[in-house]
Amino acid sequence: MSTVLVAGGTGTAGAAVVAELRARGHRVLTLSRHSPEGPAADHVTADLLTGEGLAAALDGVDAVISAVNGQTRKTRPVFTEGARNLVRAAEAAGVRRAVLLSIVGVDRVRLSYYETLTEQEGIYSASGLDVRIVRSTQFHQLLRSIFATTARFGVIPAVRGARFQPIAPTDLARALADAALTESATAGGRIEVGGPEVRTMRELAESWKRATGSRALVLPVPMPGAPGRFLRAGLNLTTENRYGAVTFDEWLATEAPSTSE
């Protein structure tokens, strides 16, 4: 049995990998700045941005998985300063391995969010740890959120030429757990995983409409600039790595989504 610490263990990917590791019989610790309500036997409190509490949190840990997220400019330093503090503390604690969740194509488009994630990858790769970087395609939840939010206004924009290969967090969790627990190394320490199918944004929007009964109009729209070129070129896809098993339609059926989201 290994002891694995999951930073960002309460988020979408983090919670899924915590459940996956526990199902495999391993001890899992979740890390956050604040103690959760209720029993906290498997929770450790530390601050990635200051480093406070990290030494104690990493005591006896075999592997670290980072699934942290910083969507706003204010929280984005968790990817950089947070990464530096975590890998330094992990090295000092004698942790064997670090697994980092990233995004497919993250270094192939000029977007500030992606550039920060690319910097995070470099921080991990430059450390003395056995690093595995798992690059994933977008979650099913992201597309559902886009469709549900815009449908409130009667229209669902579908970017022309955009294709997606969405993956279920439970599928990604298997990849993260395997990366943390298996000894076989990967070329450059990088793994790419995507969902089982590649579909246009319009096709995915129509699937969401059928599942929810939404009457919103799916409207093809152009996307200019670097993001549009990125999507039209399929740089967000990893067609040779169809790791996931759960399709978008199957996921929608089990999630019972609604137009009221």
Whether residue 129 is predicted with pLDDT greater than 70 in this model: the reply is yes
Name all domains of the chain by residue range, CATH numbers in brackets: 3-255 (3.40.50.720)
In the chain the first and final C-alpha atoms are separated, in Å, by: 40
pLDDT number for residue 34? 73
Task: Please report the pLDDT score of residue 260 as a whole number.
Answer: 42
Q: Hunting for tokens 């979650």 — which residue is that?
A: 139
CA distance linking residue 76 with residue 8, whole number of Å: 13
Question: Residue 68 carries which side chain, given as an amino acid letter?
Answer: V
| Strand-pair partners of 64 | 5, 98
Average of per-residue pLDDT values in the chain: 92
Q: Are 131 and 120 in contact (CB under 8 A)?
A: no
Q: Give me the mean pLDDT over the 179-207 stretch.
A: 90
Q: Is the pLDDT of residue 191 over 60?
A: yes
- The dihedral through the CA atoms of 21, 23, 27, 29 has a sign that is positive
pLDDT at 72: 81
- For 64-107, the DSSP string reads EEE-----STTTTHHHHHHHHHHHHHHHHHT--EEEEEEETTTT
Q: What's the pTM value of the predicted model, to 2 decimals?
A: 0.92
DSSP classification of residue 6? E
Strand 163-164 vs strand 199-200: parallel, antiparallel, or unpaired?
antiparallel
Residues 6+ apart with CB under 8 A from 106: 114, 117, 118, 121, 135
Q: What distance in Å separates the CA atoms of residue 16 and residue 19, rounded to the nearest whole number?
A: 5
| H or E, element range at 28 | strand 27-32
What backbone phi and psi angles, to 5 degrees, belong to 190?
A: -120, 140
Place of tokens 């699934």: 67
pLDDT at position 190: 92
User: How far is 153 from 155, CA to CA, in rounded Å?
Assistant: 6
pLDDT band of residue 222 (cuts 50, 70, 90) is very high
Integer Cα distance of 168 and 16 in angstroms? 10
Q: Tell me the pLDDT tens digit for each residue of 231-251.
A: 999 999 999 999 999 999 999
Q: Are strands 217-221 and 3-7 parallel, antiparallel or unpaired?
A: unpaired
Interatomic CA distance for residues 158 and 57, integer angstroms: 44
How remote is the C-alpha of 56 from its chain's centroid?
A: 26
CA–CA separation, 213 and 261 (whole Å): 13
Q: What is the pLDDT of residues 33-92, one digit of tens each?
A: 876 654 456 889 999 999 999 999 999 999 999 999 987 888 899 999 999 999 999 999
Mean per-residue pLDDT, 119-133:
96
The answer, yes or no, to whether residue 259 has pLDDT greater than 50, is no
76, 113 in Cβ contact below 8 A?
A: yes
Nearest to 25 by CA among 177, 185, 243: 177
Does pLDDT of 261 surpass 50?
Answer: no
pLDDT tens figures, 4-29? 999 999 899 999 999 999 999 999 99
Share above pLDDT 90 across residues of the chain, in percent, rounded to a whole number: 85
> Is the confidence at residue 187, as pLDDT, over 70?
no
SS3 192: strand
